Chain A
Amino acid sequence: MTFQEIIFHLNSYWSSRGALIVQPYDIETGAGTFNPATMLRALGPEPWNVAYVEPSRRPTDGRYGENPNRLALFYQYQVLIKPSPENAQDLYLESIGSLGIDFKKHDIRFVHDDWESPTLGATGLGWEVWLDGMEITQFTYFQQVGGIELDPVSVELTYGLERITMFLQKKDDVFDILWNDTLSYGDIRKREEYEFSVYNFEEASVEMHRSWFNDFEKEAQHCLERGLVLPAYDMVIKCSHTFNILGARGALSVTERTAYIGRVRNLARMVAEAYIASRERQGFPLMEG
């Protein structure tokens, strides 16, 4: 199966299980969790069932396209189901099995890994899913988002698309995997990895990013004052990405890092509270019955 076929397959699998298929968000995110379809929709009582691909930027993980396993940008396949169904593990295993993986010959395991996003004030309990010793998915029952205890609890599945493709195509180097029948992942993305590694580690303007961070933070507060929760949340994502660039540039001391994380978390908390209040004012329109 090619990289794109795996995405088609997961889309059709989850679509047939009732998931809404949405598109990646149009702002740089560090993970599928940051997409408002997860981060905001996990809040409050309304049911939600969604799947999408999310390009995820991790500036510090860039290796100039020279490392076979590390990327400054990779693709997550994200599923969020609220409330978490009783058969969540079975649904997940079926999705992996349907990619042609035989669990009698490949060792699949749920290995304890609790998840935490200090910037989003989010925590969850769950596992890394291992396939023959390789982590291919993060499986998490969300407990908190924006510091708010979730009720009902959502289950989040985050598939590492490149890793699953490497596994299925038996490739040791991510750049060798086939995106379609003729083009490799490297053909499409290697240059991008190189340029963004140079940019993130060496060229990004520290001064500009510092000032952006401050501006985005101010703008988020401004939006919140005006009751514009969704634009406020965009600013939170922008703050987070800006912070990640500053981190990759080595511009932050340990104490500064902690302070920046605290500022994003504080915004995330305010947005989370405002979002629930806003949905409530709208009468929780997605509530059944």
Chain B
Amino acid sequence: MSPMKDILVEIGVEELPHAICQSAMDDFCTAFTNRLQEERVKHGTVSPFGTPRRLCLLIEDVQEGQVDFKTEKRGPSYEKAYVDGKPSQALLGFLKGNGIEEGDTVVRDAGKGRYVFAVQEVKGKSTEQLLPGILTDVVRSMRFPKSMRWESKGFSFSRPIRWIVFLFGKKVISFEIAGIHADRHTYGHRAYTDGTIEIGVPRDYEPTLRTASIIPDRAQRREEIEGYISSITEPLGLKVPSVGNILYDENTDLTESPHAVLCRFDEDFLELPPEVLISEMIEHQHYFPLTDVKTGELTNSFVAISNIADNSESKAGYERVLRARLNDGSFFYNEDRKTTLDDYLERLTAVTFHEKLGSMRDKVERIRTISASFGKDLAVDKETASDVDMIVRLCKNDLVTHMVGEFPQLQGTMGYYYALSSGHGERVALGIKEHYYPRFAGDELPKAVEGALVGIADRLDTIMAIFSIGLRPKGSKDPFALRRKVLAIIRIIIGLKLHFSIRKLIEDSVGLYRMNDPAAVRADLDQFFHNRIKFIFAEYGFSYDEIDASLANVLDDVYEAYRRVEALHNLRGNEDFEHLLISFRRMSNIIEEGGRLSFLKSLLAEKEEKALHSHFQSMRESIVESIEKKDYGEVYRILSTFKPYVDSFFDNVLVMDENIELRRNRLGLLQSIIVVFSDIIDFSKIVQPGE
């Protein structure tokens, strides 16, 4: 082993956007260590550090030089290289061309015969020599959602680079980028240190920064925040609600030296909906809202994370800012409630849904029509139907309220509160809120059927409307997020176990839209849904072949198709079952050419076909019954009992018998078996691993 030293590299920047801090640190670390590996420089422990103002790596025990290595270059074949055991002109030319002696070659078999190889030892370069190039590559390779220029050469990075520390052992590595020269001087906390701080050797970095009031280790900063918060909240019986979890990372990436400050707002503000209070605290201020552990209710306490230790004066500031926001919030809340939610409906005329598709008011009218047919398809009772109609008439009205103007993500939630304050019942209010569910991946589903129904009708309207004006998603372009809307529809169908025909609902509603060729749009919609469903099912973890095999008439009942795929999926991987599936696929493929065939029991000749037939006869009724009961697990269990019969049938009976009558009869037998299963599974779609 050659001697070893440590590397320290710190890129000092003006504050990185908090949302990208962590990925920037990770990318910096990965890129640097990858480059070391490519350069064959061995090293020990890597410790990434980072704050909003610095991206940093400490790499311990780095070898001072690259590992030496050998290169080989193929020359002439042995036959051409040696004539009567003496070097030929060809060999001498090769030696000369590479500046080597005959002793630097080896003869080896190269697959197509023996060849002469030139072998050269390459001495590793010194690590010190390589480091500037490595860091240049690393910094230039970093990509950000948005980059900026700031200096005369037009270098671009997430935010301006202002200093660079680059040490190898005690020595500063000579390096320059974006007009900044590396040295051993870093900067401490803005509030506590003037001027620069010298780093002697790499391992001094962390302790030195800690004395300059900075915690350079991100994980440690996050732990400190967690620790501060629990030490404040636990004695008070308070906790951070789960919606606040995002704040730990945000505050970690907004501070170099976090401290927690317990603050309060006026209790009167608790009359505002908790969602409003929480949005005000989290979104704009990155404050931690606190709930009562016992009751689960939001309290008027919150925690602000500060970047300084003495918060005797700043606390009042944190509270003042929130007070101003909550004042604004109450103003909006009171203004909004001066009108009933019902009365906002006509104002939707002024909100454009899409210039070719009219206003939100027009959209609501379409959702009404779609929900009405949908309600009939789902056979909902009269009361539900009338609630659904009311939900539709109210569901978009909060879009024109002040509060939703301020916090667009509170759409639906404000509708819920305003519906209640306008005298509507809980079911209607909840339906308004839940018709937007799920709003994002992993979000909850509507709990009640009313919200589910309106939510599906709303999304279906958007999908059909956008298709009707020819703006369907293409390739990576999906500006109206229609694919996500289908995903939401499918998730709701599965989650709430809804049985209905999307195909019929589209057919019944497509007349709501003006278009030149309704039949073509409908076919396109069917295709779109079909493809999306396949894709979505695959995301549920099902393989494409089991999906393809189970998708018969999917648009007439997506939930049943889902259950069929699930039942099939649960048996996959079992060796006997896979074998059986392949046998059935073979049956399915053989009969494909034959058309509809009849068969006669009296024509069965071999004992194996008779056995198969009699097994089929004995099972037929239970298969049909299980299919009727939609007990797909049972169907597949029965299918499994066919294995010995099918196996010995194929081992001993020649289907394609020379006797055309026998052949047609055997095909007929197989067909009658396949047909019984055909509503459940299309065996021809099954694929085995490796096929």
Using CB atoms and an 8 Å cutoff, list the residues of chain A in contact with chain B.
63, 67-70, 83-84, 86, 89, 93, 103-112, 114, 125, 127, 131-134, 141, 143, 151-153, 167, 170, 172, 250, 253-255
List, in ascending order, chain B residues with CB within 8 A of A151's CB: 149, 154
The complex places the Cα of A107 from the Cα of B159 at a distance, in Å, of 21
3 A-B pairs with least C-beta separation: A132-B317, A112-B17, A110-B15
B254 close to A172 (CB less than 8 A): no
Q: A110-B14, A132-B317 are in contact. List 12 more A-B contacts (CB 8 A).
A: A68-B327, A104-B191, A104-B192, A107-B306, A112-B19, A133-B322, A134-B321, A141-B160, A151-B149, A172-B320, A172-B323, A253-B352
A150 CB to nearest chain B CB (Å):
8
Taking a contact as CB atoms under 8 Å apart, the answer to whether A143 and B321 are in contact is no
Q: How far is the CA of A167 from the CA of B162 in the complex (A)?
A: 30
Q: How far is the CA of A151 from the CA of B313 in the complex (A)?
A: 42
Contact B313 A106 (CB under 8 A): yes
B150 engages A84 (CB within 8 Å): yes
Q: How far is the CA of A93 from the CA of B189 in the complex (A)?
A: 13
Interface-central residue, B16, B150, B310, B355, by most chain A CB under 10 Å: B150
Q: Give chain B residues whose Cβ lies under 8 Å from the Cβ of A172.
A: 320, 323-324
Answer whether A69 and B327 are a contact pair too, CB < 8 Å, given A105-B308, A107-B314: yes
B310 touches A105 (CB 8 A): yes
Cβ–Cβ contact A134 & B328, under 8 A: no
Docked complex Cα distance between A132 and B314 (Å): 5
Nearest residue (CB) in B for A114 is B146
Chain B count of residues within 8 A CB distance of the other chain: 48
Q: Which partner residue on chain A sits nearest B144 by CB separation?
A: A125
Contact status A127-B308, CB under 8 Å:
no
In the bound complex, residues from chain B placing their C-beta under 8 Å from that of A152 are 152
Question: A interface, by DSSP: helix, strand, loop or mixed?
Answer: loop
CA–CA, A190 to B27, complex, Å? 53
Asked if residues B328 and A69 are in contact (CB atoms below 8 Å), the reply is yes
On chain B, the residues within 8 Å of A254 by CB distance are 351-352
B317 near A134: Cβ-Cβ < 8 Å: yes
Known: A103-B191, A105-B312, A133-B318. A143 touches B149 (CB 8 A): yes
13 inter-chain pairs at a CB distance below 8 angstroms, sorted by A residue, are A67-B327, A68-B327, A70-B328, A93-B190, A107-B308, A107-B317, A109-B15, A125-B146, A132-B321, A133-B314, A134-B317, A151-B154, A253-B352
A133's partner among B317, B327, B350 (CB-CB below 8 A) is: B317
Residues of B within 8 A of A110 (CB): 14-15, 52
Chain B residues, CB < 8 A from A105? 308, 310, 312-314
Say whether B18 faces chain A, with CB atoms less than 8 Å apart: yes
Give bound CA distance, A108 to B324, whole Å.
19
A86 touches B162 (CB 8 A): yes
Report the Cα distance A105→B162, complex, angstroms: 26
Name the contact of A112 in the complex, choosing from B15, B152, B304, B352 (C-beta under 8 A). Answer: B15
CA of A63 to CA of B151, assembled, Å: 42
| A170 / chain B contacts, CB cutoff of 8 Å | 316
CA distance A103 to B352 in the complex (A): 48
Set of chain B residues within 8 Å of A114, measured between Cβ atoms = 146
Chain A nearest CB, measured from B598 CB (Å): 65
Which residue on chain A has the smallest CB distance to residue B52? Answer: A110
Q: Which of B1-50 contact A (CB under 8 A)?
A: 14-19
Q: Does B148 contact A (CB under 8 A)?
A: yes
Query: Do B148 and A143 have beta carbons less than 8 Å apart?
Result: yes
User: Taking A107-B306, A125-B146, A125-B159 as contacts, is the C-beta distance between A134 and B320 under 8 angstroms?
Assistant: yes
Query: Which residue on chain A has the smallest CB distance to residue B355?
Result: A255
Chain B contacts for A70, CB-based, 8 A: 328
User: Given A112-B15, A253-B352, do A133 and B321 touch, yes or no (CB 8 Å)?
Assistant: yes
Chain B residues proximal to chain A, CB less than 8 Å: 14-19, 52, 146, 148-152, 154, 159-160, 162, 190-192, 254-255, 285, 287, 304, 306-308, 310-314, 316-318, 320-324, 327-328, 331, 350-352, 355
Closest residue of A by beta carbon distance from B19: A112
Complex CA–CA separation, A109 to B257 (angstroms): 12
> Roughly how many angstroms separate A108 CA and B314 CA in the complex, as a whole number?
10
Residues of A with C-beta under 8 A to B350 = 250, 253
Task: Contact check, A141 vs B327: say whether CB atoms are below 8 A apart.
Answer: no
A109-B313 in contact (CB<8A)? no
Kindly state the separation between the CA atoms of A69 and B15 in the bound complex, as whole angstroms. 28
A161 to chain B, nearest CB (A): 16
Task: Select from chain A the residue with minimum beta-carbon distance to B263.
Answer: A133
B318 neighbours in A (Cβ, 8 Å): 132-133
**In whole Å, how far is B396's beta carbon from the nearest beta carbon of chain A?**
14
* B307 A106 Cβ-Cβ under 8 A: no
Which residues of chain A are within 8 angstroms of B314 by Cβ–Cβ distance? 105-107, 132-133
| A212 to B214 Cα, complex, angstroms | 57
CA distance A121 to B531 in the complex (A): 40
Chain A, residue nearest B21 (CB): A112
Contact A133 B152 (CB under 8 A): no
Closest to B315 in A: A132
Docked Cα-Cα span, A145 to B352, in Å, equals 30
Interface pair B148/A103, CB less than 8 Å apart: no
Residues of B within 8 A of A83 (CB): 151-152
Chain A residues with Cβ below 8 Å from B320 are 132, 134, 172
Query: In the assembly, what is the distance between CA of A126 and CA of B542, in Å?
Result: 45
Q: A125-B159, A141-B148 are in contact. Are A103 and B308 (CB under 8 A)?
A: yes
How far, in whole Å, are A243 and B542 apart by their CA atoms in the complex? 54
* A133 and B190 form a contact (CB under 8 A): no
Closest-by-CB residue of B relative to A250 is: B350
A98 shortest CB reach to chain B, Å: 15
B316 proximity list for chain A (CB < 8 A): 132, 170
Determine whether the beta carbon of B146 is less than 8 Å from that of A106: no
Check if B324 sits within 8 Å of A107, measured CB to CB. no
Nearest chain B CB to A288's CB is how many angstroms away? 13
Rounded to whole Å, the gap between the CB of A166 and the closest CB of chain B is 8
* CB closest chain-A residue, reference B285: A133
CA of A111 to CA of B323, assembled, Å = 20
Known: A132-B318, A172-B323. A111 touches B254 (CB 8 A): yes
List B contacts of A103 (CB < 8 A): 190-191, 308
Tell me, in angstroms, the Cα distance from A104 to B151 when the chains sit together.
31
B146/A131 in contact, CB under 8 A: no
Contact of B18 among A111, A134, A167, A253 (CB under 8 A): A111
Contacts of A67 in B (CB 8 A): 327-328, 331
For B307, the chain A residues whose CB sits under 8 A away are 107-109
Q: For residue A132, which residues in chain B have a CB less than 8 angstroms away from its CB?
A: 313-314, 316-318, 320-321
Q: Is the beta-carbon distance between B308 and A104 smaller than 8 angstroms?
A: yes
CB distance from A65 to the nearest CB of B (A): 13
Choice from B15, B317, B351 contacting A131 with Cβ under 8 Å: B317
A281 to B159, CA, bound (A): 34
Chain B residues positioned under 8 Å from A134 (CB to CB): 317, 320-321
Instruction: Tell me which residues across on chain B come within 8 A of A86, comparing CB atoms.
Output: 151, 162
- Give bound CA distance, A141 to B147, whole Å: 11
Q: Which of B285, B306, B317 contacts A167 (CB 8 A)?
A: B317
CB neighbours (8 Å) of B18 from chain A are: 111-112
Chain A residues positioned under 8 Å from B149 (CB to CB): 141, 143, 151, 153
Q: Closest CB-CB distance, A112 to chain B, in whole Å?
A: 3
Establish whether residues A133 and B304, one from each chain, have CB atoms under 8 Å apart when the complex forms: yes
Cross-interface CB contact of A141 among B52, B150, B154, B355, cutoff 8 Å: B150
Q: Given the complex, which residues of A lie within 8 Å of B190, measured CB to CB?
A: 93, 103, 108
**Once the chains bind, are B150 and A109 in contact (CB under 8 Å)?**
no
How far, in angstroms, from A69 to B321 measured CA to CA in the complex? Answer: 10
Given the complex, which residues of A lie within 8 Å of B327, measured CB to CB? Answer: 67-69
- Contact, CB under 8 Å: B308 / A255: no
Contacts of A143 in B (CB 8 A): 148-149
Residues of A within 8 A of B151 (CB): 83, 86, 153
Task: Tell me the minimal C-beta distance from B637 to chain A in angstroms.
Answer: 57
